[in-house]
A and B are shown apart, each in its own frame.
Chain A
Amino acid sequence: MTEATIDMTTTALPKTNTVTSGGREEFAHTISGTIGKPYLDGKDAKFFCRGVNVFYAGEKQAIFDVNMDIGKNEVIAMIGPSGCGKSTFLRCLNRMNDTIPGCRVTGDLKLDGEDIHDREQDPVLLRARVGMVFQKPNPFPKSIYDNVAYGPRLHGLAANRSELDEIVESSLRKAGLFNEVKDRLQAPGTGLSGGQQQRLCIARTIAVSPEVILMDEPTSALDPIATATIEELIDELRASFTICIVTHSMQQAARISQRTAYFHLGYLVELNDTKTVFTNPQHQLTENYITGRFG
C-alpha cells in the first residue's frame, strides 16, 4: 500500500466552502447526517429523537431533521451560534414549543420509549418528568418554602405537611441551598441573590422528582463563583437525573458535559464525546466555532 491511498491533506475535517457566514442553502449540502456519535445503545437512551423538524409560524423552519439519543445520567451540552436552534430543540423535549402560537414539531420524540406527542400524553405531567431551568432566575413571588413546595402541592406528591417539609428540605439540599436559607424559609424567594435564586429554581425543578432537567443558559446571568457552584451542582445531579444544557459558554460545555452537540443554522452538525469536540472536532464547522473563527 502506498502513501497515496492515505488522505494526506493537512486536515481531515470535512471541507465546506462557506464556513464563516454563508447562508443555510450554501452549506446544507455539506451536512449529510450528524457527524460523531449521535446514537447510544437503546438501553442507555433516555430520549430518542429521530427526524425532528420544527417550524415556526409562516412555515419558517428552525430545526432540520435532528437525530440523536440522550443518555441516562448524562450531561449533554448543546452549543452553537445564536439562532442555530439549540434552545428550540431543547424546548421540544418537554413540549414547551406547544406554547408558542404557530409552532409545529414533527418527527419522533420518545421519552423512555413513550411518544411525548401521543394523544394520551399530558404535557403538564410530561413537564413534571422533564423539568426546565431558564436563563434568568424566575422564582415565584412567594416564600422560599412555597417556591419549592409549589410543584409537589400541584401534583399531590405529599400526603401531609411533614412529607412536604421533607421534600422541600431535600430539594433545597440537593440544590446546595438549604444551609444558606434554612433560617428564613418563609422569606420571599425574590430576596435571594442571583445565584441563590437560580439554585432555588433548580430546587423547585427537582422537587417534583423529574427524570430529565433541561437548562437553557442557566448561568449566563451569574457571576463566576455562582456559576462554579451551579456547575458543581450539575455534576452532582447527574447521578440522579439526565441533564441537557444549552450554553453560550464553550468552556462551560467543556467543563460539565460528557457529550457535546454542535448546532448550526438548525442542523445538528456534530454530536460527539466532549473530549473529542474540544480537542479534535470532526466537522469543519464545529472546529470553526470552537476555535473562534466565526465572523
Chain B
Amino acid sequence: MNDMNTTQHTSQQYNHELEEARSKLMTMGGLVESQVTNAIKALLDRDSALGEKVAYSDHEINAMEIMLDEHCAEIIARRQPAASDLRLLITIIKVITDLERIGDEAEKVGRYAVEMAETPTYGDLHNALRHLGEHVKVMLSDTLDVLGRLDVAQAMQVVRNDQQVDEEFDSITRQLYTRMLEDPRNIKDSLNVTWCARSLERVGDHCKNICEYVIYLVKGKDVRHTNIESIRETLLGE
C-alpha cells in the first residue's frame, strides 16, 4: 500500500494499527486464495480428500473476518479516523465480507468435489469447468494484487474480466440444459456441475466488488452498481 494510507501519522501507534489491519487483510486474502485453488483442484482432479480438507478449513477464514472486524472497530473507536484513513477502514470492513463469502463458495465447491469424485464422467463440461476455474483463479489473484498495490487500472481490468466469467457461466448452463434434456439420468450430476459453476461465478462477482471498493478507497468515488463505462467516466470526470 502506498504512503498515503498507513504512514506519516504524527502518532506512530496509529501507523502501526493501520498497518496491522492491512497486513492481516492480506493474510486473509492469501488464505482465501489457497482455499479457492484447492477447491478447484479437488474438483478437477476428483480428489475427495482435498475437497474434504477445503470444506473443513473455512473456519479459519471466518475467524479472521471476526478478528479484522474487531480490529477495525477498535481503531474507529479510538482514533476517529477521517479521509483516506476512514476510507481504508471502511474498505477493509467491506472487503473482508466479500473475502469471507469467497471462502464460503470455496467450501461449497470442496463439498461438491467430494460428491462428484464418484461421478464417472461429465465429458466436455470438465474442460469448461477447468477453463472457468482458471479464469476465476486469475481474477482472484489479480484482485489480491489490486488490494496490495491499490492499482486502479488493474482494478478496472478485473471488473471487466468479470463479464467474461459471467459469459462462461452462461455457456456452461446452456450445455447443461442440453445434457439434461438428452437424458434425465444426467440431471443429478448436471445439477452438481451447475452448483460448482455457480459458486465459481460468484467468486468472480466478489472479486469485482472488492476491486470496486479499492477504487473507492483510492479515488473516494463510489462506483458500485454501475457499468465499466460509467466507472471510466467517473474517474475521468475528476
State the A residues within 8 Å of B (CB): 1, 3, 5-8, 10-13, 20, 250-251, 254, 277-281, 286-288, 290-295
Binary CB contact string for chain B from 151 to 170 against chain A (1 if under 8 A, 0 otherwise) = 11100100000000000000
A292 and B10 in contact, given A3-B153, A10-B150, A278-B86 (Cβ under 8 angstroms): yes
- Whether B181 is near chain A, meaning CB under 8 Å from some CB there, is no
- Whether B235 is near chain A, meaning CB under 8 Å from some CB there, is yes
Q: How far is the CB of A189 from chain B (nearest CB, A)?
A: 34
Q: When chains A and B are docked, how far (Å) is the Cα of A278 from the Cα of B9? A: 16
26 A-B residue pairs with CB within 8 Å: A1-B232, A5-B236, A6-B153, A7-B235, A7-B238, A10-B4, A10-B152, A10-B218, A13-B4, A251-B80, A277-B83, A278-B82, A278-B83, A278-B86, A279-B87, A279-B220, A280-B83, A280-B220, A280-B221, A288-B8, A290-B82, A291-B85, A292-B9, A292-B10, A292-B11, A292-B14
Q: When chains A and B are docked, how far (Å) is the Cα of A8 from the Cα of B156? A: 11
Q: When chains A and B are docked, how far (Å) is the Cα of A82 from the Cα of B13? A: 24
Q: Is the CB of A280 within 8 A of B14?
A: no
- Whether B97 is near chain A, meaning CB under 8 Å from some CB there, is no
Q: Is the CB of B219 within 8 A of A291?
A: no
Q: When chains A and B are docked, how far (Å) is the Cα of A286 from the Cα of B86? A: 14
Q: Which residues of B contact A251 (CB under 8 A)?
A: 80
Binary CB contact string for chain B from 80 to 119 against chain A (1 if under 8 A, 0 otherwise) = 1111111100000000000000000000000000000000
Q: Is the CB of A291 within 8 A of B218?
A: no
- Whether B2 is near chain A, meaning CB under 8 Å from some CB there, is yes
Q: When chains A and B are docked, how far (Å) is the Cα of A288 from the Cα of B86? A: 13
Q: Is the CB of B235 within 8 A of A6?
A: yes
Q: Is the CB of A294 within 8 A of B220?
A: no
New contact pairs (20) apart from A7-B238, A279-B86, A279-B87, CB-CB < 8 Å: A3-B153, A6-B153, A10-B150, A11-B2, A12-B220, A13-B4, A277-B83, A278-B83, A278-B86, A280-B87, A281-B83, A286-B83, A290-B83, A291-B9, A291-B82, A291-B83, A292-B11, A292-B14, A293-B8, A295-B10
Q: How many residues of B contact A (CB 8 A)?
A: 28
Q: How far is the CB of B159 from chain A (nearest CB, A)?
A: 12
Q: How far is the CB of A108 from chain B (nearest CB, A)?
A: 31
Binary CB contact string for chain B from 205 to 229 against chain A (1 if under 8 A, 0 otherwise) = 0000000000000111100000000
Q: How far is the CB of B217 from chain A (nearest CB, A)?
A: 9
A293 and B9 in contact, given A10-B4, A280-B87, A280-B220 (Cβ under 8 angstroms): yes
State the B residues within 8 Å of A (CB): 2, 4, 8-11, 14, 80-87, 150-153, 156, 218-221, 232, 235-236, 238
Q: When chains A and B are docked, how far (Å) is the Cα of A288 from the Cα of B82? A: 10
Q: How far is the CB of B169 from chain A (nearest CB, A)?
A: 26
Q: When chains A and B are docked, how far (Å) is the Cα of A3 from the Cα of B156? A: 9
Q: Which residues of B contact A3 (CB under 8 A)?
A: 153, 156
Q: Is the CB of B218 within 8 A of A11?
A: yes
Q: When chains A and B are docked, how far (Å) is the Cα of A10 from the Cα of B5? A: 10
Q: When chains A and B are docked, how far (Å) is the Cα of A279 from the Cα of B11? A: 20
- Select from chain B the residue with minimum beta-carbon distance to A13: B4
Q: Which residues of B contact A288 (CB under 8 A)?
A: 8
Q: Which residues of A contact B220 (CB under 8 A)?
A: 12, 279-280
Q: How far is the CB of B8 from chain A (nearest CB, A)?
A: 5
- Select from chain A the residue with minimum beta-carbon distance to B10: A292
Q: When chains A and B are docked, how far (Å) is the Cα of A281 from the Cα of B86? A: 12
Q: When chains A and B are docked, how far (Å) is the Cα of A278 from the Cα of B221? A: 14
Q: When chains A and B are docked, how far (Å) is the Cα of A292 from the Cα of B82? A: 9
Q: Which residues of B contact A277 (CB under 8 A)?
A: 83
Q: Which of B10, B14, B83, B85 has the most CB of A within 10 A?
A: B83
Q: Is the CB of A293 within 8 A of B10?
A: yes
Q: When chains A and B are docked, how far (Å) is the Cα of A8 from the Cα of B232? A: 11
Q: When chains A and B are docked, how far (Å) is the Cα of A287 from the Cα of B14? A: 16
